[in-house]
């Protein structure tokens, strides 16, 4: 089955030297794919190229099997939701939503029915007569989303649409977008620098770095099996320790693990905080010796900093029942439930 959206070997470079190179991406019908990375990594360049706001230097963009690389935005079966809501302040919600449909010469009765359905979908029923200034930021973004949904695009493009909202609203909007996507079956490409947003929303995540793609995978795989040191550093909380390969084992102090990747020499060992185990220090301790540096209680769990001496300071997340037994300055035996390892030259 052909992809709903295909970006093939796309390159777009600016005079500054920034941009993207060799981007290859396929998005299936009904899939929500997120482009994730820090500012300047190229994610918005890819999105705007898909939408027709930028013309690639080379490569092809196909939507529903049709080459749209040279087409302007208005001739593409796409719609864009921007970070700024781009609503006309002098027009009511109804007129803002009807504008694009009137251009398409849709009958008035059909426009009214479509707007009623769209506002119900974004949980703003009855808001037709209000003006943007009478709406909160979250409500304005819902109207902007409804406007894009009304155009029934083959691919809906979203450029950091929730970044101007407060944390609670962002969380609500994520849930609503996922629900809308499930109801409509729309194909969506979402841009964000917020890893939590990407992990909670996406079917797949495209992690970008300096204009190229580091990894494309499902959120669970991106989190559990980051393919490069960059992805490991960027996604979630991670501890890093210096390790070395000895006799085909990866070793950190008294701890060692199989060298499945056949790495050589010095390596960077990565451990998630939830995979760090601690227990009271005994003479026959088999792990690394650590000293509790700080205990930050965060509701049902604690974020604990551990000083491992020559191995540096790491963090562990410990459950509520363990918190009462932990004290600053306490010496503990530290073990790891699982590790990832990377060549040091990847840094």
Residue with tokens 């992805």: 231
Task: Spell out the per-residue pLDDT of the chain, length 347, in tens.
Answer: 468 999 999 999 998 888 999 999 999 999 999 999 998 899 999 999 999 999 999 999 999 999 999 999 989 999 999 888 788 999 999 999 999 888 888 889 999 999 999 999 888 898 889 999 999 888 898 899 999 999 899 999 999 988 878 888 888 888 888 988 888 899 999 999 999 999 999 999 999 999 999 999 999 999 999 999 999 999 989 999 999 999 889 999 999 999 988 898 999 999 999 999 998 887 777 889 999 999 998 888 889 999 999 999 999 999 878 877 888 999 999 999 999 999 986 44
**C-alpha angle 220/257/301, rounded to 5°?**
50
Query: Does 237-346 match 5-231 at the fold level?
Result: no
Q: Which fold has domain 5-231?
A: Rossmann fold (3.40.50)
On whether the CB atoms of residues 52 and 73 are closer than 8 A, the answer is yes
Task: Decide if domain 237-346 falls under CATH 1.25.40.10.
Answer: no
Find, among 259, 282, 275, 294, the residue nearest to 336 by Cα.
275
Q: Residue 266 and residue 288: Cα distance in Å, rounded?
A: 19
Look at residue 192 in the predicted model and tell me its pLDDT.
93
Give me 140's structure tokens.
């304005």
For residues 57 and 205, give the distance between their C-alpha atoms in angstroms, rounded to a whole number: 25
Instruction: Identify the CA nearest to 260 among candidates 334, 335, 337, 342.
Output: 342
Q: How many Å apart are CA 173 and CA 178, to the nearest integer?
A: 8
DSSP 57-119: SEEEEEETTEE-TT--GGGSSEEEE-SS----TTS-HHHHHHHHHHHTT--HHHHHHHHHHHH
pLDDT score at 345: 60
Domain ranges of the chain: 5-231, 237-346
Specify the pTM.
Answer: 0.89
For residue 320, the tally of other CB atoms under 10 A from its CB is 12
Contact present, 26 and 35 (Cβ < 8 Å): no
- Which uninterrupted H or E stretch holds 222? helix 219-224
**What Cα–Cα distance (Å) separates residue 298 from each residue in 6, 47, 218, 276?**
43, 37, 28, 17
């Amino acid at each position: 089955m052909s992809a709903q959206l295909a970006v093939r070997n796309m390159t777009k470079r600016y005079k500054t030297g920034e941009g993207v190179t060799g981007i290859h991406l396929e998005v299936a019908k009904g899939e929500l794919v997120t482009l994730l990375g820090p500012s300047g990594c190229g994610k918005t360049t890819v999105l705007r190229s898909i939408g027709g706001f930028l013309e690639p230097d080379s490569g092809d963009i196909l939507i529903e099997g049709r080459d749209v690389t040279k087409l302007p935005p208005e001739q593409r079966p796409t719609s864009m939701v921007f970070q700024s809501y781009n609503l006309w302040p002098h027009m009511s919600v109804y007129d803002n939503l009807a504008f694009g449909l009137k251009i398409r010469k849709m009958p008035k009765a059909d426009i009214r029915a479509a707007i009623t359905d769209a506002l119900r979908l974004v949980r703003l029923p009855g808001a037709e007569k209000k003006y943007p200034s009478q709406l909160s930021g979250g409500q304005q973004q819902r109207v902007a989303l409804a406007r894009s949904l009304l155009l029934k695009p083959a691919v809906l493009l979203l450029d950091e649409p929730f970044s101007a909202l407060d944390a609670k609203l962002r969380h609500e909007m994520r849930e609503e977008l996922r629900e809308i996507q499930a109801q409509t079956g729309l194909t969506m490409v979402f841009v964000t620098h917020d890893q939590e947003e990407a992990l909670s929303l996406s079917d797949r995540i495209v992690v970008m770095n300096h204009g190229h793609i580091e990894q494309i995978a499902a959120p669970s795989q991106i989190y559990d099996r980051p393919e490069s040191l960059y992805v490991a550093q960027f996604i979630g909380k991670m501890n890093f320790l210096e390790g070395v390969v000895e006799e085909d084992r990866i070793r950190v102090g008294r701890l060692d693990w199989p060298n499945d990747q056949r790495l050589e020499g010095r390596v960077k060992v990565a451990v998630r905080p939830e995979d760090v185990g601690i227990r009271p220090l005994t003479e026959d301790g088999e792990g690394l010796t650590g000293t509790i540096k700080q205990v930050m209680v965060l509701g049902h769990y604690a974020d604990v900093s551990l000083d491992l001496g020559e191995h540096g300071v790491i963090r562990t997340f410990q459950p509520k029942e363990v918190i009462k037994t932990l004290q600053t300055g306490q010496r503990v035996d530290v073990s790891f439930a699982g590790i990832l390892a990377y060549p040091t030259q990847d840094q």
